[in-house]
Chain A
Amino acid sequence: MLALVARRLMTAVPTLLAIILASFFLMRLAPGGPFDGERPLPPETQAALQAAYGLDKPLWEQAWIYVSRLVQGDFGPSLVYRDFTVSELVAQGLPISLTLGGLAIILALFIGISAGLFAAVQAGKAADKAIMMFATVATALPTFVTGPALALFFGLWLGLLPVSGTGEGWSWLIMPVVALALPVSGAIAKLTRAGLATVLKQDHIRTAKARGLPETKILFKHGLRPALVPVASYLGPAAAGLLTGAVVVETVFGLPGLGRYFVQGALNRDYPLVLGVVTLYAALIILFNLFADLIYGWLDPRMREG
C-alpha cells in the first residue's frame, strides 16, 4: 500500500513537469500577449513591460525560470491583476472551488450509488427503467443548461435560494453543487447498476446464498464492494470533469472560484495565472487518481498486488 503511494508520487513529478511545459509552450504558440489592449501601448512601454516580466528572454529560458521558481513555491506575479501574485489569487479562489467540487462528488456518489443499487435490485421492473432513463438524461444535460434552469426555478420563481454570489450561510452552495453533481451522479448510477448486475451473477454470491443469508446481507456484504470497482475507476476522470465543469458553474452562479481566473487568465494571456491554475488542477487530478487507486485496493484486495 505504502509502496504504491510512494511509487505514484514519484511518477507524479515528471507527469506534472510534462503538463506544465506542454501548457507553457502551447500557450505561447497562441497569438496575442498580456499587454495587447484595445489601444496598443507605445512600443517602448511594451518593451519595458516585457523586460520587467522577463518575457523578452528566449522561451526555453523563461520556461526554466518558471519551473525553478515553481519548485520554490513561487507561482509568479499575475500579468493582468498587477497588484496580486498568482498565489494570492489562487488562495482566494481555491477554497470555493474545492468546497464546490468536494461536495459535488460526495453528493454524486451518494445519489449515484443509491440509485444504482435500487435499480439493480429492481432489475427489469418499472423503477429500474425510470432510474436508468433519468440517469441518461442527467448525464446528457450540460451544466450550462441545468445551472440556469435551477436558478430560474428555485431562485427567481420560488425565491428559495440565492441566484448569485456567496451570500450568508450555506444556501448559496446548494444549486451550484447540485448542478455540478447531476451528470456525475447519472454516470455513477449506471456504473453501479452495471457492476452489480455482473457481480450478482458470480459464484461467490451463490456461495453466500447457499449459506442462507438474507438478501440484503448478500447485497451489501458480498455484492456491493466488487460492484463499485468501475465506479472507482471513473472517479479520476470524474474529478477532472468536476474541476472543468466548475468553470461553467462558477460563471453561471457568479462565484469567485478558480474557474473565473482560469477563463479570464486565458483570455487575457495572463501566462503565470493560467499556468498556476493548470498546475494546481493537474496536481489535484493526479492526487485524485491516486485516491481512486487506493479505494480500488480496498474494494478488491486483488488490485493491491503488483
Chain B
Amino acid sequence: MSIYEIRDMAIEIDGKQLVEGVNIAVEAGQCTAIIGASGSGKSLSCLTPFGLTPGVARGSITLDGIDLIQADAHQMRDARSRLTGFVFQQPLTALTPHLTIGAQLQEAAAQAGPPRSSRHELAQRLERVGLSRADERLDQFPHRLSGGERQRVMIAAAIAHEPKLLIADEPTSALDASLRGEIMALLDELRLERGLAMLLVSHDLASVEGHADQLIVMDQGRVVESGPTASLITKPQKEYTKRLMAASARLDEPAPQLQEVGDILLEAEAVAVTFPRPGWRRGKIKAVTDIGLHVREGEALAIVGGSGSGKSTLGKAIAGIGPLTSGTIRWQGQPLPERRARTVAMRALIQPVFQDPVASLDPQWKVRDIVAEPIKHLQPEILRKDRDAMVLKALEDVELGEDYLSRMPTSLSGGQAQRVAIARAIVASPRLLVLDEATSALDPLVGSSILQLLRKLQQTKNLSIIFITHDIASARRLCHRIVVLDEGAVVETGDMDLVIRNPQAVTTQKLIAAS
C-alpha cells in the first residue's frame, strides 16, 4: 500500500481539461519523479491535489488514508500542514521577504501543532541541511542568502514538521549547475534517513535519473510512459521518451562532427571589467580580470562557468553591449573601440542572443518589426521592399514560416520566441553571434532543436559563435573549444574533447560532474 496514491486523475481549470488519466504512486522512503516539458501538466498534477493551483482535480487521491478529493477545508489544511512538505522551484521568491529565516523555520516547525522550537533546535535544523553559521542565519532575512542557501532553508522548512510526503517541484532548476548535485544528494539523504516518500518534478531527465526509483514521463497532460527508472531509461518503449532521452545532452555520447575553422576572427587580450560597488561603499568589484581568448572563422567557442563567474559580463564586453574597463578586442587584427565608439558597420559584425527569449522581444511589436529593426539601424540604405525580403529569409533560416510575420511575441512559445530572437540576430548578416545561455531557459527537446539550428546556421553561413553557458554537455554539441571561467578569470581552456576527457581545474571538474 503506497503512502500517496493517485488513480486516474483528471484536472481542469475553468472547465478546460488540462490533465487526464494520471496514475502516481509513492512509497515511503522512495522517490517517484515526473518528467515532462513545460506545459505537460507535471506541476499541475503535483500541486492541484493540495489545492495549491486554480485547478480542480477528479479521480481518486489518497494520502496516508485521507481521501483528498472528498476532504473539506479543515482536512485539506491538515493534509498540507501535518503530512506534506513542499519545496518549490524558485528559492528566491518562495520565502517571505520580510520575515527572518528563524521566524519562517519556526512557523514551519510549528505547522503540525508541536510547541515552539528553541533557537538551538532551529539552528540544528539549518545545520542538518548543510548551512554553516546556522545561528547567525536565523536572524537574517532571505535576501541575504544565496539561491542555494535559500533552497536549503526551503528544504529545512519543508521537513521541519516531520511530514510523510515531500513534494519537490523542480527543486534544482533555478540553481547553478554545480549546486544541483549537492541539493539532490541532500534530498536523497534526508529521504532515506527519515523514510520520506518523495514526489519529484523535473523537466530534466539527467538531473533525476540517479535519484528516482520510479519514473513517470508526461506530455500534454497525459502520462506517456511510467515504470522503474532503470528499465525505463535503458529500454524506453514510447517514441516521445526516446526523443526526450536523445534531447538531454550527455557527456558520454559520441562527439559531434564539427566543421572546419578558418583564420582568427576576433581576439580579446587582457580584458577586464570592473563595476563600482553599490551604495556608498568604496572600491570596485572586479567582474572580469585579465582575460584573453580568440575565435576563428566558423568556429564555436564555449565560455562556461557558474553564476557570478563573469561569463555574461565578458560576453557583453565582446559584443559591445556592456562596459569594458581595460584591454583590447581585435577584429581580424584591427582593434575594436569601446562600445560607444563602435561604428554601425562594426556593430553589424557581432550580434547577441539572450537567455530569456520572451523577455528579450518587445511585447508591443510584431515579429516582422522585431526582425526588421537591426536592418533599419545597421543598414539604413536598404529599401523597404528588400528589407521585407530579408526578414522573410531570416525567418526561413530559423525554420519559421511567413505566417509568423504578424504574430506578437506573447503568442509565441519559448522555442519559437528564441528562433525569432536568432532571426533578429542573423538578419543583418553578422559574422559572430554571442549567445548568452540561449538554451538554458528552454525545455530539453526545444533546447536541443535550437542547438541543431545553430549548427546548421553556422555551417550554411560560416558563422562564428560564442556560446556562453553553465552546461558543458550542451556546449559540447556545438563548440570546438572551451574556455572555463571562475571568479572572472580563465581557469582552463582548450579543445572541447580534450578538456572533457582530462579536466585540470577544480571548477571544470565540478562543472563536468554536474552535467
Contact = CB atoms under 8 A, between A and B. Distances in A.
A62 B52 CA distance: 69
A260 interface: no
A202 B280 contact: no
Interface in B222-270: none
B80 A211 contact: yes
B94 A206 contact: yes
A300 B143 CA distance: 10
B52 A206 contact: yes
Contact of B279 (A206, A299, A300, A306): A306
Contacts of B117: none
A304 to B, nearest CB: 9
A3 B50 CA distance: 46
Given A212-B81, A212-B82, A202 B93 contact: yes
A302 interface: yes
A300 B90 CA distance: 19
B81 to A, nearest CB: 3
Interface in B252-295: 278-280
Contacts of B208: none
A207 B88 contact: yes
A280 B444 CA distance: 63
Contact of B80 (A204, A210, A299, A302): A210
SS class, residues of chain A in contact with chain B:
helix
Interface in A20-42: none
Interface string A168-205: 00000000000000000000000000000000001110
Contacts of A221: 96, 99
Contacts of B82: 212
B80 A212 contact: yes
A300 B142 CA distance: 11
Given A203-B93, A305-B279, A209 B98 contact: no
A210 B88 CA distance: 10
Contact of A213 (B111, B141, B280): B111
Contacts of B141: 301-302
A14 interface: no
Contacts of A8: none
Contacts of A225: 98
B97 A209 contact: no
Contacts of B279: 305-306
Interface string A206-238: 111111111000000110011000000000000
B111 A209 contact: no
Contact of B98 (A203, A213, A299): A299
A203 B80 contact: no
Given A211-B107, A301-B97, A301-B143, A203 B88 contact: yes
Given A203-B90, A206-B88, A306-B279, A212 B111 contact: yes
A99 B76 CA distance: 50
Contacts of A125: none
Given A306-B278, A306-B279, A210 B98 contact: no
Interface size class of A (residues with CB under 8 A): 20 to 34
B473 interface: no
B98 A301 contact: yes
Contacts of A207: 86, 88, 94-96, 154, 157
B316 interface: no
B93 A209 contact: no
Given A300-B97, A300-B98, A302-B143, A210 B50 contact: yes
Given A206-B52, A209-B52, A214 B77 contact: yes
A212 to B, nearest CB: 3
A7 interface: yes
B108 interface: yes
B77 A210 contact: no
A43 B94 CA distance: 77
B255 to A, nearest CB: 40
B63 to A, nearest CB: 13
A278 to B, nearest CB: 30
Contacts of A299: 98
Contacts of A203: 88, 90, 93-94
Contact of B94 (A7, A204, A213, A214): A204
B280 A7 contact: yes
A18 B52 CA distance: 54
B162 interface: no
B81 A222 contact: no
A200 B140 CA distance: 23
A26 B294 CA distance: 62
A132 to B, nearest CB: 23
B188 interface: no
Interface in B60-84: 76-82, 84
Best-surrounded residue of B78, B94, B97 (most CB of chain A within 10 A): B97
Closest 7 CB pairs of A and B: A212-B81, A306-B279, A212-B80, A301-B141, A203-B93, A210-B86, A212-B77
12 contacts: A3-B280, A203-B93, A203-B94, A204-B94, A204-B96, A206-B52, A206-B88, A207-B94, A212-B76, A212-B79, A213-B111, A301-B141
Given A204-B93, A222-B99, 13 more contacts: A3-B280, A202-B93, A203-B93, A203-B94, A207-B96, A210-B84, A212-B77, A212-B80, A212-B111, A221-B96, A301-B97, A302-B141, A305-B278
